[in-house]
């Protein structure tokens, strides 16, 4: 009888580890990086386009004040954001929301915290023309296209990048979008672990990965290699801002914001669309409580998690493994 | 016992009536109910063609994930409430034309419904 029991236990436990291993590799396979970057059929990649787009992205002459470029807020030194709770726009006025990163956006269709723009190509003229941001007119003699045409070096660059096409605000947007599509975070310790390097991340982080997918259910929204499915939810951040609810009158979209990518996330605090959570520890505590605001629109997927202190630490340790050691970005010499 | 027998008889009468009704009404109404499944943050098909008056039952077969199906049209605009795993809702499509159906939560979920006589 005793022997039988022992056998039974061995059988059950070995079966269990086998099962755990296969489900781990199954889980890991859901986070594989893609092998190429998607470009639009109507705006394909070329070296000349990417170079041109980079120059425009870093050029403050695209703004009304002539001192603000895309990179003022989407600063590569701060993981392509600004490290502030809320962005700072034209005339140093505070914007309503935090500046999001522009890492890894080639894979996303709906952009902004509330999803109001489609595709990178369709977003660029938003901040340039916005009075609160770059405050540049898109038409007229002082407008965007005329300013760019007036810079000799750009004329040549456009000729190479888009031969025969007239320089218009839309073409400028296309060039910037080609550059943005190429802004991709490189492999992080987490990816090395997926590839089989067992020592690439700690046991604590591996436990955190399991929690992320299982008990803490983070992967219901932060799924795939970018750690977001680009979905829109009210996760219970306390704020007057109703996000996507402003133009989608559905209950689920009141206070709904886009699920953030968690790649290189430890470089982008403070967190959430209003910068209300200072550290990753704070974020995990926020989810553990089930958010800060109980409203009708709160996602059914946000509930108190009952995580132990060790479990919280493991989750944070896991989040740190998503940061890649990317090459510093070189600044372009702008044409005069 | 008697009550049971009576009930059974009633039921057969009712179902006979139903059958008769269906046969009589069929050429007039002919409304079909189609089923669309939401699983792994996807609809099981991306396009469907139906007849005016047909309906679609949207069924959430996820384990943990909530969906919120709606459409701004151009024809047959509608909105459903959030659907928890296991829940289903029916929508009737009356007008001929196309309807772009989306999930408000998951931007990758898209379904084109064509209503054609
Ligand atoms: C003054 C600061 C500022 C400047 C300048 C600025 N942005 Fe932004 N950017 C923001 C803020 C803030 C948001 C989020 C706004 C919102 O969602 O309502 C944002 C959002 C974005 C997004 C969407 C990201 C996502 O995950 O959906 C992209 C792409 C973007 N900006 C690109 C650009 C480009 C290209 C330029 C230059 C043409 C630019 N930005 C200039 C502050 C700025
Ligand atoms: C129901 C979907 C959902 C679930 C589940 C979820 N998140 Fe989020 N997450 C979001 C959304 C939406 C945002 C942006 C919310 C905002 O700013 O208002 C976000 C924001 C974040 C941020 C801040 C990102 C930034 O750039 O500011 C972090 C970090 C994060 N989540 C980690 C987690 C972790 C860890 C878990 C599991 C404990 C988790 N999330 C579970 C949807 C979700
Ligand atoms: Cu959905």
Residues belonging to chain A with any Cβ–Cβ distance to chain B shorter than 8 Å:
109-110, 115, 217, 220, 229-233, 244, 248, 250-253, 256, 299-301
Residues in chain B within 8 Å Cβ distance of A248: 104
Query: Across all residues in chain A, what is the average pLDDT?
Result: 94
Q: How many CB atoms lie within 10 A of CB A168?
A: 14
Could you give the angle at which helices A203-213 and A309-320 cross, rounded to 10 degrees?
100
Q: What is the pLDDT of residue A15?
A: 47
Share of chain A above pLDDT 90, in %: 92
Query: Which helix (H) or strand (E) is B32 found in, with range?
Result: none
Q: How many CB atoms lie within 10 A of CB A112?
A: 16
Indicate whether residue A111 lines ligand 1 (CB < 6 A). Answer: yes
Q: Is the pLDDT of residue A22 over 80?
A: no
* Model confidence pLDDT, tens digit, residues A65-85: 999 999 999 999 999 999 999
Distance from CA of A1 to the nearest CA of B (A): 40
Q: What is the pLDDT of residue B2?
A: 47
Those residues of chain B that have pLDDT short of 50 are: 1-5, 8-20, 23-27
Does the distance separating the beta carbons of B104 and A220 come in below 8 Å?
A: no
Q: Quote the CA–CA distance of A215 and A83 in Å, as a whole number.
A: 30
Q: What is the pLDDT of residue A13?
A: 47
- Identical fold, A47-181 and A187-320: yes
The CATH class that applies to domain A47-181 reads mainly alpha
Q: Quote the CA–CA distance of A185 and A70 in Å, as a whole number.
A: 18
Pick the CATH number of B31-115 from 3.90.1300.10, 2.40.160.20, 3.10.20.70, 2.60.40.420: 2.60.40.420
- A187-320 in CATH: which number? 1.10.760.10
Token output for A16? 């269990």
Q: Residue ranges of the domains in chain A?
A: 47-181, 187-320
Q: What is the pLDDT of residue A218?
A: 98
* Model confidence pLDDT, tens digit, residues A112-158: 999 999 999 999 999 999 999 999 999 999 999 999 999 999 999 99
Does the distance separating the beta carbons of A217 and B104 come in below 8 Å?
A: no
Q: What is the pLDDT of residue A23?
A: 85
Q: What is the pLDDT of residue B29?
A: 61
Q: Which region among A10-14, A232-236, A271-275 has the lowest average model confidence (pLDDT)?
A: A10-14
Cβ neighbors of A239 (< 8 A, separation 6 or more) are A255, A273, A274, A276, A293
Q: Which of A224, A226, A231 to mutate to test the interface with B (most CBs of B within 10 A)?
A: A231
Which residue among A110, A253, A300 sits closest to B66, beta carbon to beta carbon?
A: A300
Q: Residue ranges of the domains in chain B?
A: 1-30, 31-115
Q: Is the pLDDT of residue A6 over 80?
A: no
Residue nearest to ligand 2 atom 39, measured at CA: A218
Whether the CB-CB separation of A288 and A305 falls below 8 Å is answered with yes
Does the distance separating the beta carbons of B84 and A300 come in below 8 Å?
A: yes
Ligand 2, CB cutoff 6 Å, lining residues: A 216-218, 220-222, 233, 235, 237, 257, 259-260, 262, 265, 268, 271-273, 280, 283-284, 287, 299, 301-302, 315
Residue B110 in contact with partner chain A when CB distance is under 8 A = no
Average pLDDT over residues A81-110: 98
**Nearest residue to B116 (alpha-carbon basis) of B100, B99, B103, B91:** B99
Q: What is the pLDDT of residue A96?
A: 98
Cα A94 to averaged position of ligand 1 atoms, centre (Å): 14
Ligand 1 atom having least distance to the Cα of A128: 38
Q: Is the pLDDT of residue A227 over 60?
A: yes
How does residue A255 score in pLDDT terms, banded at 50, 70 and 90?
A: very high
ipTM over 0.85: yes
């Amino acid at each position: 009888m005793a022997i039988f029991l022992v056998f039974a236990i061995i059988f059950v436990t070995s079966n269990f580890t086998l099962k755990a291993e296969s489900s781990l590799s199954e889980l890991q396979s859901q986070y594989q990086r893609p092998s190429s970057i998607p470009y639009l059929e109507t705006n394909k990649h070329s070296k000349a386009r990417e170079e041109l787009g980079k120059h425009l992205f870093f050029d403050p002459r695209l703004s009304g004040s002539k001192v603000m470029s895309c990179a003022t807020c989407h600063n590569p030194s701060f993981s392509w954001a600004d490290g502030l709770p809320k962005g700072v726009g034209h005339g140093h006025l505070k914007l309503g929301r935090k500046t999001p990163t522009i890492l890894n956006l080639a894979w996303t269709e709906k952009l902004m915290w509330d999803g109001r723009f489609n595709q990178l190509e369709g977003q660029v003229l938003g901040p340039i023309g916005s009075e609160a941001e770059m405050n540049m007119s898109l038409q007229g003699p002082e407008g965007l296209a005329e300013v760019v045409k007036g810079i000799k070096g750009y004329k040549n660059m456009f000729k190479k990048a888009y031969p025969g096409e007239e320089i218009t605000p839309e073409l400028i947007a296309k060039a910037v979008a080609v550059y943005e599509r190429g802004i991709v975070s490189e492999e992080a310790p987490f990816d090395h672990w997926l590839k089989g390097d067992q020592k690439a991340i700690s046991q604590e982080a591996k436990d955190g990965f399991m929690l992320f997918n299982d008990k803490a259910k983070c992967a219901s929204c932060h799924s795939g290699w970018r750690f977001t499915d680009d979905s829109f939810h009210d996760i219970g951040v306390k704020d007057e801002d109703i996000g996507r609810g402003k133009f989608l009158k559905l209950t689920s979209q009141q206070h709904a914001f886009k699920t953030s990518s968690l790649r290189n996330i430890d470089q982008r605090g403070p967190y959430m669309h209003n910068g209300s959570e200072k550290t990753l520890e704070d974020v995990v505590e926020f989810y553990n409580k089930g958010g800060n605001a109980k409203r009708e629109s709160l996602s059914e997927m946000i509930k108190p998690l009952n995580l132990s202190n060790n479990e919280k630490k493991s989750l944070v340790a896991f989040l740190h493994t998503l940061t890649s050691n990317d090459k510093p970005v070189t600044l372009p010499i702008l044409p005069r | 016992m008697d009550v049971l027998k009576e009930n059974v008889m009633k039921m057969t009468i009712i179902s006979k009536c139903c059958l008769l009704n269906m046969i009589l009404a069929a050429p007039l109404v002919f409304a079909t109910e189609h089923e669309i499944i939401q699983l792994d943050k996807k609809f099981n098909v991306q396009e469907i063609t139906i007849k005016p008056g047909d309906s679609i039952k949207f069924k959430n077969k996820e384990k943990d994930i909530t969906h919120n199906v709606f459409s701004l049209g151009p024809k047959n605009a509608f909105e459903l409430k959030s659907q928890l795993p296991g829940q289903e809702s029916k929508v009737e499509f009356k007008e001929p034309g196309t309807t772009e159906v989306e999930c408000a939560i998951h931007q990758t979920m898209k379904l084109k419904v064509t209503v054609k006589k």
